[in-house]
């Protein structure tokens, strides 16, 4: 019998999450039955979408949702031998019994000198999101100009680097001078701290006087309206996230960009990466190849200890992380 710990949402978040909204639960798991495996978490992910999805897909008392990289420690399923590693949507748990459904084995060609935690970041869901947003939604072309906000985060930092690989001009917005410096290290053509610029409109115009062909949207809120004014005619917007609104107690209203969208003939599309899951295996191989070739740099913000899951989650929502936020068990 294995003692499994899990973090549950004791009550729905009201505004920004609080420590008291989480509870630690302990239970004993039985031995795996035929076809089952016992997983032990190695790395766990904390992501902005968890705040949004908690309103929609979770009930009070439920285990917090999320991905993890886990090691198979017992197996009665030949597809998942003991000692192998998988990516699993097991949520915030130290141990999980699984029948194998939904488990994604780590790529067999994964280098020994690359941390498995990247399967939760640049070579995982955030990387897939970046690729599909750029290729499937925006249709980004060589020579175009792309703007990405929350650019030093798990998705934004990959978006910018892939756009550079594709031969584009990339402008990034981030929330600290240290993050702006990081974007410059990654090869962004222009980057600015949206918290310290006197005018977002002027900062955008200075970074790209000719405007923007594509906008990869992670933030939402009033700043998006400012960006739309500087899109080129027939510009495209991929709406990936709206982190500035996730903790609002009351929904934000206006300004409404329809006139701008009509006059500029803009295309705006929301998306979730799972729409293209049939392409995941080949896309993950492409991302891994870019990492091995040095074309895709990966920075992580690692919190140690399963007991610190809520703190890591809240810190990520406050923008404490540069790159992907993960928890190492």
The H or E element containing residue 213 is strand 212-217
pLDDT at 250: 87
How far apart are the C-alpha atoms of 208 and 204, rounded to whole Å? 6
> What residues contact 237, with CB distance under 8 A and at least 6 apart?
214, 215, 217, 228, 231, 266, 267, 268, 269
At 178, the pLDDT band (50, 70, 90 cuts) reads: very high
Count of other CB atoms within 10 angstroms of residue 255: 11
- Does 187 have pLDDT greater than 90? yes
pLDDT at 293: 97
pLDDT at 122: 98
- 211-232: pLDDT as tens digits: 999 999 999 999 999 999 999 9
The residue-averaged pLDDT of 8-19 equals 96
pLDDT at 7: 98
- Does 197 have pLDDT greater than 90? yes
In total, the chain counts a number of residues equal to 329
Distance between first and last Cα of the chain: 20
pLDDT at 140: 98
- Does 319 have pLDDT greater than 90? yes
- 68-118: pLDDT as tens digits: 999 999 999 999 999 999 999 999 999 999 999 999 999 999 999 999 999
- 1-10: pLDDT as tens digits: 899 999 999 9
The residue-averaged pLDDT of 129-133 equals 98
Q: What does the mean pLDDT of the chain come to? A: 97
Q: Which residues of 34-72 are buried (b: 16+ CB within 10 A; e: fewer)?
A: eebbbbbbbbbbbbbbbbbebeeebeeeebbbbbbbbbb
- 24-45: pLDDT as tens digits: 999 999 999 999 999 999 999 9
At 252, the pLDDT band (50, 70, 90 cuts) reads: confident
Percent of the chain with pLDDT over 70: 100
- Does 255 have pLDDT greater than 90? no
How far apart are the C-alpha atoms of 321 and 108, rounded to whole Å? 29
Secondary structure percentages of the chain, helix, strand, coil, to 5: 35, 25, 40
How far apart are the C-alpha atoms of 246 and 317, rounded to whole Å? 9
* Contact yes or no for 183/207 (Cβ under 8 A): no
pLDDT at 159: 98
pLDDT at 254: 81
Q: Which of 218, 180, 215 is nearest to 322 (CA)?
A: 180
pLDDT at 296: 98
């Amino acid at each position: 019998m294995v003692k499994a710990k899990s973090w549950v949402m004791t009550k729905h978040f009201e505004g920004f999450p609080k420590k008291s909204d989480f509870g630690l639960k302990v239970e004993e798991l039985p031995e795996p039955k035929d076809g089952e495996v016992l997983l032990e978490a190695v790395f766990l992910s904390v992501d902005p979408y968890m705040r949004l999805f908690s309103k929609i897909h979770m009930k009070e008392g439920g285990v917090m949702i999320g991905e993890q990289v886990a090691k198979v420690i017992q197996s009665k399923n030949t597809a998942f031998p003991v000692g192998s590693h998988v990516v699993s949507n097991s949520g915030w748990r130290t141990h999980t019994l699984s029948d194998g459904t939904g488990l994604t084995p780590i790529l067999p060609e994964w280098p020994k000198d690359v941390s498995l935690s990247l399967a939760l970041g640049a070579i995982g869901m955030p990387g897939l999101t970046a690729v599909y947003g750029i290729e499937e939604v925006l249709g980004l072309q060589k020579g175009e100009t792309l703007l990405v906000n929350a650019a030093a985060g798990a998705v934004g930092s990959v978006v910018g680097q892939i756009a550079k690989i594709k031969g584009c001009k990339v402008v990034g917005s981030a929330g600290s001078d240290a993050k702006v410096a990081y974007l410059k290290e990654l090869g962004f053509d222009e980057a600015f701290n949206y918290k310290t610029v006197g005018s977002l409109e002027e900062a955008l115009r200075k970074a790209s006087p000719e405007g923007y062909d594509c906008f990869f949207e992670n933030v939402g809120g009033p700043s998006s309206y400012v960006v739309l004014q500087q899109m080129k005619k027939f510009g495209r917007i991929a709406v990936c996230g709206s982190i500035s609104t996730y903790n609002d107690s009351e929904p934000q209203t206006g300004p409404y960009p329809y006139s701008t969208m009509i006059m500029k003939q803009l295309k705006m599309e929301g998306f979730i990466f799972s729409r293209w899951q049939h392409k995941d295996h080949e896309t993950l191989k492409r991302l891994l190849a870019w990492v091995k070739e040095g074309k895709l740099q990966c920075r992580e913000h690692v919190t140690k200890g399963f007991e610190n899951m809520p703190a890591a989650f809240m810190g990520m929502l406050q923008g404490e992380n540069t790159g992907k936020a993960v928890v190492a068990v």
